[in-house]
Amino acid sequence: MRFVDEFREPELISKTAEEIRRLAGTDRHYRTMEVCGGHTHAIYRFGLKDILPENIELIHGPGCPVCVLPMGRIDDGLAIAHEPDVIFAAFGDMMRVPGTQGSPLEHKARGMDVRIVYSPSDALKLARLNPDKHVMFFAIGFETTAPSTALTMMRAKVEGIRNFSVFCNHVTIIPAIRAILDSPDMRLDAFIGPGHVSTVIGCRPYEWIARNERKPIVVSGFEPLDMLQSIVMLLRQLKAGEAKVENQYKRVVPWEGNRAALRAMAEVFELRPYFEWRGLGFISQSALRVNDKYAEWDAEQRFEVPGIRVTDPKAAQCGEVLKGVLKPHQCKLFGRECTPEHPIGALMVSSEGSCAAYHNYEHRKAAMVSLSSIA
Amino acid sequence: MCLAIPGKIVEISSDNQDSALVDVVGVRRKIDLGLLQDDKPVPGDWVLIHVGFAMSKISEQDAADQMSTLRMLGEIDGAMQEIQGYGLEDVN
């Protein structure tokens, strides 16, 4: 409980933690997955595992868009940027993500025109400022980010800006949850639902998880108290034998989501029949591509895309970690060949990936604790 | 990746209703309001900003809470870097 004093409302946090202990009892093990990488990051950062009783196990889900992006897609995007007069624009998060021939940043060092943008609309601005070049925006992200890309493409169309395109890698969270639930070695009891994705999609898309899979899901905020309260809500449901969608993050997430954002996505994108997720493999209808109305702004339709496929080394057990079958440190490569500085597997790539989060916080902490006190 | 940064609407652009000036702890940048067209914010409102777009309206208290969450998560520098980068200010 050494971290509690640093938080706001430490008394309320202690009370909530007490309630979790009371509800959890000792006779049963609970396995909860937080879907969102932001939650994974927060769990480690706040040391929430130290607050929770041992029979509540947190499994870290697939909600880190940088992590689940196959290396081949990075290679494909970089291949387009090798065309003459193409500017490769992407968020800073993408810049250090390795492709087979190095990261975008390394390509920049070798002379590629690579720009960091903080907003897709700034990629469009780059196109306005560089009429003799073509700006390709390397788009990634879940439903939190996809509407901003969509609206930017709508603006490009309205303004008739034709030296701009999007290499679309947007993915959708629900099919990934379904894939995890469908895997035979899955043993989850409940879900902590993503916070900011839900500001866009709302809470309804999770209803099948409760209804068909009989798993409770609580959409949660990111503060320690938010997540502890969400765990209380999940435990209450599990104790009562219920399975409902609940919204702990009401102050930000409307039940119906953001309709204007959903409209923008529907205007520009359509579902891909299937898309590869690093660590999870091919998942049907799990990603977005640009529809024919916006073909002119679709990098995949405008350029020759090699369609590179890169398989992760067999020794990397990302899939098992994603499904909660293995803890990050139980992977054979963890902390040895695969580190945040030299990521081999998907989950080490970004600080929101469970292996990187585990490495950055737990591993360092564990290194300072003597073996006797662990035993 | 999924930073949500609280900001206060300072003014709506007179020639473009989808463009607003926001204040994020003293830093002022233009953001896009196009994703809030069903519930347009007005000057003085607080919004959560993600990649240059207002995603949802929030209360002043929630804005303060969100700022402290970013601080606790060690993401405040990243958030300010993002805000300062809007409009290509930091792009070379």
Predicted complex ipTM: 0.95
Q: How far is B16 from chain A (nearest CA, A)?
A: 12
Scanning A153-172 for CB atoms below 8 A from B yields: 155
Of B59, B88, B90, Cβ closest to residue A126: B88
Cβ separation of B35 and A258 shorter than 8 Å? yes
What is the CATH number for A296? Answer: 3.40.50.11740
- List domains and CATH numbers for chain B: 5-88 (2.30.30.140)
Asked, for residue A168, whether it belongs to a domain, the answer is yes
The residue of chain B nearest to residue A202, with distances taken between CA atoms, is: B56
Q: Cα separation of A112 and A79, whole Å?
A: 11
Asked, for residue A165, whether it belongs to a domain, the answer is yes
Instruction: Collect contacts of A268-277 with beta carbons under 8 A, ≥24 apart.
Output: A268/A149, A268/A150, A268/A153, A268/A154, A268/A293, A268/A294, A269/A146, A269/A150, A269/A168, A269/A170, A271/A172, A275/A171, A276/A70, A276/A72, A276/A309, A277/A62, A277/A68, A277/A70, A277/A171, A277/A176, A277/A179
Asked, for residue A208, whether it belongs to a domain, the answer is no
Residues in B touching A199 (Cβ below 8 Å): 4, 48, 55-56
At B9 the pLDDT is 98
Residues in B touching A260 (Cβ below 8 Å): 34-38
For tokens 């067999």, name the residue: A314
At A360 the pLDDT is 87
Mean pLDDT, residues A25-49: 92
Q: Cα separation of A302 and A304, whole Å?
A: 7
Asked, for residue A116, whether it belongs to a domain, the answer is yes
Residue pLDDT, tens place only, B44-60: 999 999 999 999 999 99
Answer yes or no: is pLDDT of A168 > 80.
yes
- Which residue, among B26, B6, B80, B8, has the nearest Cα to A222 in the 3D structure? B6
Mutate to test the interface with A, among B35, B36, B70, B83 (most CBs of A within 10 A): B35
Q: How far is B13 from chain A (nearest CA, A)?
A: 16
Cβ separation of A122 and B53 shorter than 8 Å? no
Q: How far is B89 from chain A (nearest CA, A)?
A: 10
At A307 the pLDDT is 93
For tokens 């006797």, name the residue: A372
Residue pLDDT, tens place only, B11-27: 999 999 999 999 999 99
Answer yes or no: is pLDDT of B90 > 60.
no
Looking at residue B54, the DSSP 8-state letter turns out to be E
Of A154 and A363, the structure prediction assigns the larger pLDDT to A154
How much of chain A, in percent, has pLDDT values that exceed 90? Answer: 76
Residue pLDDT, tens place only, A199-225: 999 999 999 999 999 999 999 999 999
Neighbours of A58 (CB within 10 A): 22
How much of chain A, in percent, has pLDDT values that exceed 70? Answer: 95
Asked, for residue A22, whether it belongs to a domain, the answer is no
Asked, for residue A141, whether it belongs to a domain, the answer is yes
Mean pLDDT, residues A349-360: 87
**Do the bridges between strand A217-219 and strand A245-247 make them parallel or antiparallel, or are there none, so unpaired?**
parallel
Asked, for residue A19, whether it belongs to a domain, the answer is no
Asked, for residue A234, whether it belongs to a domain, the answer is no
Residue pLDDT, tens place only, A8-30: 788 999 999 999 999 999 999 99
Residue pLDDT, tens place only, A316-352: 888 888 777 888 999 999 999 999 888 888 788 888 8
The residue of chain B nearest to residue A119, with distances taken between CA atoms, is: B51
- Which residue, among A174, A176, A173, A157, has the nearest Cα to A165 in the 3D structure? A157
At A6 the pLDDT is 65
Of A64, A200, A253, Cβ closest to residue B1: A64
Ranges A8-22, A160-174, A225-239: which has the least confidence: A8-22
Count of domains observed in chain A: 1
Mean pLDDT of all residues in chain B? 92
Locate A240 and state its tokens.
């009562």
Give the pLDDT band of residue A375 (cuts 50, 70, 90): very low
Answer yes or no: is pLDDT of A236 > 90.
yes
Tell me how many residue pairs between chain A and chain B have CB atoms under 8 A apart: 131
Q: Write out the residue range of the structural domain in which residue A97 sits.
A: 67-172+257-302
Cβ separation of A118 and B85 shorter than 8 Å? yes
Using an 8 Å Cβ cutoff, are A156 and A293 in contact? Answer: no
Write out the residues of chain B at the interface with chain A, using a CB-CB cutoff of 8 A. Answer: 1-2, 4, 32, 34-38, 48, 50-53, 55-56, 58-59, 62, 65, 68-69, 72-74, 81-83, 85-88, 90-92
